[in-house]
Chain A
Amino acid sequence: MNTAIGILLGIGLLFNVLGTVSLYRFPDVYTRLHGTTKCTTFGSLFTSAAVVVYGLTKFFQGFEGRFVTLSLHVMVAVLALLISNATGANAIARAAHRSGIMPVRAVFDRLAEDEKTMGRRVS
């Protein structure tokens, strides 16, 4: 049990730290959003999976109800995190584009071209 939890926590921490590093290594808002959204969501998924494994093993050792409650609540929290993180990233990306930040080193920017030809926001 200790080994499994250790591996899950290790993977989760690795990706969370990578998310932090990506904040400093990437040049603009969009690429930073790539790094932080994916890495922190995935890392938190793994650290929470470690807690679920802990709760389930404790439950099968002593059949105490509160460990099942722990696992269930962690699953609800992870689901909320998945949905809210992705939606929040979309919202920040759209807001950044509308407030005039252009992607650095971009090959082309179809959204800005379309907004120019249409003369308004696309949505």
Chain B
Amino acid sequence: MVIFVASALTYLLLVWAGGSIEWLEVVIALVFAGLISIMAKRWNPELPLRRSWLNPVRLVRFVVYLFGPFLVALVQANLDVAMRVITGKINPGIVRIPTGLASDGALTLLANSITLTPGTLTVDANDESRELYVHWINVTTEEPKASDICGTFPEWARRIAE
């Protein structure tokens, strides 16, 4: 269902050229979206997708997150890495952080956000205990909490994708 709507909307967005869309294009979009979602279902019937991702409130939250805290963290991350490239000062280590997120989608969103935020890079994830292993370029404590590494991101991930 998620794949069907997402691929149909992407196709329509790519063929839209400012004016109205021909009905033939809509038919083609629906046919191909149906084919793709059937193929995804056959290939992996237990894809952890949720219908609640199509909830418009969650999509609006996602856009707010993308242009709010995420953009700020991305700018900080780049200034931080730029300083480290120039000075060459590093103190790395791999730490373990608990996330407390139940769904796989939220964990994926959090892992991707951590990769693009200051000084951290997700290396591995533990599916059972819901923990992330993070390569931290400037280690300060041995047992950090999630808020030490990524601020309010777990809260956002829970509200967007869980």
Contact = CB atoms under 8 A, between A and B. Distances in A.
Check A-B contact in the complex, CB < 8 A. Answer: yes
B139 A107 contact: yes
B81 A38 contact: yes
Contact of A73 (B14, B84, B88, B125): B14
A21 B133 CA distance: 27
B123 A108 contact: no
Contacts of A111: 94, 96, 123-124, 133
A37 B120 CA distance: 11
Contacts of B142: 108
B116 A69 contact: no
Interface string A1-43: 0000000000000010010011001110011011101110110
Contacts of B92: 30-31, 103-107
Interface stretch (B16-24, B34-42, B50-58): B16-24
A98 B122 CA distance: 14
Contacts of A107: 91-93, 139
Contacts, number: 133
A56 B13 CA distance: 17
A51 to B, nearest CB: 17
A53 interface: no
B112 A86 contact: yes
By secondary structure, the A interface counts as: helix
A112 B133 CA distance: 10
Interface of B: 10, 13-14, 16-19, 74-75, 77-78, 81-82, 84-85, 88, 90-96, 108, 111-113, 115-116, 119, 121-127, 133, 135, 137, 139, 142
Interface of A: 15, 18, 21-22, 25-27, 30-31, 33-35, 37-39, 41-42, 45, 65-66, 68-69, 72-73, 76, 82-83, 86-87, 89-90, 93-94, 97, 103-112, 114, 122-123
